[in-house]
Amino acid sequence: MRRFDPDPRLQLSSPWTRRDLLAATVLSLATAAFVLWQNSRLAVLWDIGYLLDSAYRMSLGQLPYRDLPFVHSPLTFLLQAAILRLTGRVYFHHVIYAAAAGALATVLTWRLALGILRARRLPQVSVLSLRRMRPGFAGYTWTISLLISSPLTCLGIYSIFPTPFYDCDCILSILIALLLLRGLDSPSRPSRLRACTAGFALIPPIFFKQNIGLPFLFTTFAALLLLLVFGRFRRDDVQASIPHPSTLLTVLAAAFAILLASALLLHLTVGIGNYVYWTVQFASQRRLPGFADVLGIFAEPALLWQIPAVAVALLLLRTRAAFRLWTRILVFALLGSPFLWTLLLLLLHTDPDDRADDLLALWPLVLILAAAFALVSLILALKRRTLTLRTLLPFVLLATIFGTLLSQQLWGSTYAIWPLFVLLLAELLACIAAGLDSPQTTPLVPALAAVVAATLLTCGTLYAASAERLDYAQLHDGPLQRSTLPALRGMATRGTYLPAFDQMVRFTDAEIPRDDGILLLPGEDPFYYATGRTPQFPVLLFDTTCNPYTPAQIAQIARERNIRWIIVKRTLQLTADPMPQQDATLHLLAQQFSLYRQLDSYDIYRRNAP
């Protein structure tokens, strides 16, 4: 059987040209600028306060999991603690990190999308056709990848929620891992160092966010093991596209090595049992939804006409009439109809909530189509003995997305996973292009990519700018206010929340000794980061996710830890009640504390004299 000798022009990885550098520069600068603009007007104190205060206490040497309850994976907090230790308590430094990370994620997604489109030019099994894609499509891959990646300037990992967050960091680490794994399918055998690096990159996601990193790790391991098992049955003419068994073993060994090293480090510092209890057992008890809630996104009524429209278009591409002009126009209209419909609804709906729902309704459609294409490609690849890592990539993406939905379902999870949406779109466009073998039909895919890009860019910009994803906080009432505290300079949001917080900080600096223990309820503000005081209560945020204590336990710990002051925030930026047991807690604490001062938004209580 003839051995496939790849065309050098069809390499998945090639040296960057000036055009590539220009595109990467524009994408990164546009994404960073959008993130900086979002930070100039938005500040969700609930999330910012928890992250900055937790990072600050870690920078002081307070260990989570062992010495205090902590339900999140540590890497995001350790990264921000490192920035804090290196540059001091300056809020804008964390904003710069978010802008740089968002820019990097956009560029990585573009390169991954480009690799997906280029990979379909190799002689692999496709869903629509077993014939090789014509070289005419080669000239469009760069343009298509840039088109579908451009919406990430406003839908990137830090474009919607613009300050450091663990979901966003986890997706960035996954993109880095995917980029390193992509080289395993290249015609040239990768070096052992590159294979080890790819293995190392599989582990960090689980230490950024559990429900995202674990599905990614498990499905990637399963894909590598499947390739290892079926490698002996591969065809000789495509073996250049299949990772060598020694490469797969090197990746798996490197991943297991860094995983064991991480487990050993956790055991020696905080205890592996403590880590597993807080980040897996306790966290899943408080936040893990029912499986029916996750599948609820597929109850979208628009799917009743969108799925048949796409199916008819795909069937038309398999007929002889696909080369006729009217057929190409009809196919384009059918494939683009879900996105054109979303653009039309943008004109019909003026409410930001309705516009957000219209945009998010594209998710179930893309997930269903990607799953169907991936399943058919897998069956054909197994039948033809042409299984490659590229064939299994959609399953890794789908598992990662569904893992993300385990925390807040679709609507609440959309601030970080749009890069994975773009990669699924690249998979779909590549599969469609694989069935087009005529110069007349080849331009259909870039035209469809242009419609997709226009829809996502227009609707995504309005979605991010309206902060509809962040409507759990009051972000639109009152004039824009900026913090006057040195540590928080640059933080801005609408309402009186920052001026009231600044007032409270000035009061504590003037009247509360720095060594006195303070308990803040419910803990919405970055108090310890702003003041440089040492937290003395085990919990910083008193919602059901982070707080394991009952009101009686809180009162008891306050007495044992010699907490001398309690600061209760009356006017919250958060719209929902984060601490349902706050009244019961204050009732028990009232036996030990008395009201000392009332500020604009805060009540200050002082411990009674013995």
Question: 333-369 pLDDT, tens per residue?
Answer: 999 999 999 999 988 888 888 899 999 999 999 999 9
Q: Say which amino acid occupies 308.
A: P
Over pLDDT 70: what percentage of the chain? 89
For residue 603, is pLDDT > 70?
yes
Range scoring the smallest mean pLDDT among 246-260, 409-423, 573-587: 409-423
- Per-residue pLDDT, 42: 94
Winning range, highest mean pLDDT, from 125-129, 209-213, 429-433: 209-213
User: Reduced to 3 states, what is the DSSP secondary structure of residue 89?
Assistant: coil
Rounded distance between C-alpha atoms, residue 609 and residue 252, angstroms: 62
Q: Which residues have CB under 8 Å from 444's CB, separation 6+? A: 328, 331, 332, 432, 436
Q: For residue 338, is the peptide bond before it cis, meaning its omega torsion is within 30 degrees of 0?
A: no
Percent helix, strand, coil in the chain, to 5, is: 65, 5, 30
Residue 100, by phi and psi: left (phi above 0), alpha (psi -120 to 50) or beta? alpha
Number of H helices, E strands in the chain: 24, 6
Rounded distance between C-alpha atoms, residue 573 and residue 44, angstroms: 8
User: Reduced to 3 states, what is the DSSP secondary structure of residue 467?
Assistant: coil
Domain ranges for the chain, please list them: 19-470, 480-607
Catalogue the long-range contacts made by 92-98 (C-beta closer than 8 Å, 24 or more residues apart): 92/489, 92/490, 94/52, 94/163, 94/164, 95/35, 95/36, 95/39, 95/162, 95/163, 95/490, 97/164, 98/35, 98/39, 98/158, 98/162, 98/163, 98/164, 98/168
| Mean per-residue pLDDT, 130-154 | 75
Alpha-carbon distances of 355 from 82, 305, 407, 421, 504, rounded to whole Å: 39, 19, 23, 18, 38
- Per-residue pLDDT, 246: 85
Rounded distance between C-alpha atoms, residue 262 and residue 265, angstroms: 5
The answer to whether 169 and 79 are in contact (CB under 8 A) is: yes
Q: What is the chain's Cα-based Rg?
A: 26
Q: Which residues have CB under 8 Å from 505's CB, separation 6+? A: 485, 527, 530, 531
User: Which is more confidently placed, 227 or 461?
Assistant: 461
Rounded distance between C-alpha atoms, residue 120 and residue 430, angstroms: 6
Work out the burial of residue 302: count CB atoms within 10 Å of its CB; fewer than 13 is exposed, 13-18 middle, 19 or more buried: middle
Range scoring the smallest mean pLDDT among 193-197, 218-222, 279-283, 381-385: 381-385
Q: Say which amino acid occupies 441.
A: T
Alpha-carbon distances of 240 from 14, 227, 230, 308, rounded to whole Å: 17, 13, 15, 38
Rounded distance between C-alpha atoms, residue 474 and residue 494, angstroms: 8
| Mean per-residue pLDDT, 74-94 | 96
DSSP run (H or E) holding 518: strand 517-521
Work out the burial of residue 246: count CB atoms within 10 Å of its CB; fewer than 13 is exposed, 13-18 middle, 19 or more buried: exposed
For residue 132, is pLDDT > 60?
no
- Local confidence band at 164 (pLDDT 50, 70, 90 cut-offs): very high
Residue with tokens 């000239």: 139
Q: Say which amino acid occupies 261.
A: A
User: Reduced to 3 states, what is the DSSP secondary structure of residue 423?
Assistant: helix
Specify the pairing of strand 517-521 against strand 563-569: parallel
- Local confidence band at 139 (pLDDT 50, 70, 90 cut-offs): low
Question: 443-464 pLDDT, tens per residue?
Answer: 788 999 999 999 999 999 999 9
Q: Which two tokens stand for residue 545?
A: 């996710």
Residue with tokens 């966290």: 283
For residue 4, is pLDDT > 60?
no
Residue with tokens 């022009």: 9
Query: How many other C-beta atoms lie within 10 A of the C-beta of residue 602?
Result: 20
The answer to whether 110 and 145 are in contact (CB under 8 A) is: yes
- Per-residue pLDDT, 71: 94
Q: Which two tokens stand for residue 590?
A: 């009232």
DSSP string, 551-586: HHHHHHHHHHTTEEEEEEESS-SBSS-S-TTHHHHH
| Mean per-residue pLDDT, 398-405 | 91
Question: 283-292 pLDDT, tens per residue?
Answer: 888 776 666 7
- Per-residue pLDDT, 137: 56
Rounded distance between C-alpha atoms, residue 76 and residue 72, angstroms: 9
State the angle between helix axes of 444-465 and 325-348 in degrees (0 to 180), rounded to the nearest 10.
10
For residue 125, is pLDDT > 50?
no
User: Which is more confidently placed, 494 or 140?
Assistant: 494
Rounded distance between C-alpha atoms, residue 507 and residue 604, angstroms: 10
The answer to whether 411 and 355 are in contact (CB under 8 A) is: no
- Local confidence band at 494 (pLDDT 50, 70, 90 cut-offs): very high
* Mean pLDDT of the residues in the chain: 88
